[in-house]
Amino acid sequence: MNLAINVADLLGDQGYSVTLLRTNDGGTYSTTTGAISGGSSTTEAFTGLFIMYMSREVDGTAVRHGDRKLLLAARGTTMVPQPDDIVDGAVRIMDVQKLQNSSGVIAYVCQTRG
């Protein structure tokens, strides 16, 4: 079956609105203080679905107990999720993988923590 249709069906049936926040987009990193200054915050609403990792995927290092996957629809969004983005003010994205076919990116699979 078509991956794009499967993802769209899953997110259409089970997905809900989540908001991604990216802070200091375009800010400047100071090697002296270790802080980021300037820049701006960006938010965007996505349709998403949290999914628990299977126990065999949790290695205690890269994927920790309590981490979850977040499947995000790519269609209709301009922001591309990246590590350190915050989901719904509480969950941090640790890693992002793209699901894509010959037509382009279908969805993002994010490792989240928090």
For residue 27, the model assigns a pLDDT of 73
Asked if residues 62 and 87 have their Cβ atoms less than 8 Å apart, the reply is: no
Q: Which residues contact 39 (CB under 8 A, 6 or more apart)?
A: 23, 24, 25, 26, 27, 28
Q: What residue ranges do the domains of the chain occupy?
A: 3-113
Instruction: Give the helix/strand (H/E) hosting 4.
Output: helix 3-14
For residue 112, the model assigns a pLDDT of 98
Q: What is the mean pLDDT of the chain?
A: 91
Tell me the per-residue pLDDT of 42-77, one tens digit each, with 9 for 90 and over.
999 999 999 999 999 999 999 999 999 999 999 999
Asked if residues 51 and 69 have their Cβ atoms less than 8 Å apart, the reply is: yes
CATH numeric code, 3-113:
2.40.10
For residue 6, the model assigns a pLDDT of 93
Tell me the per-residue pLDDT of 2-56, one tens digit each, with 9 for 90 and over.
888 999 999 999 999 999 999 876 777 677 876 667 778 899 999 999 999 999 9
Res. 1 pLDDT band, cuts 50 70 90:
low
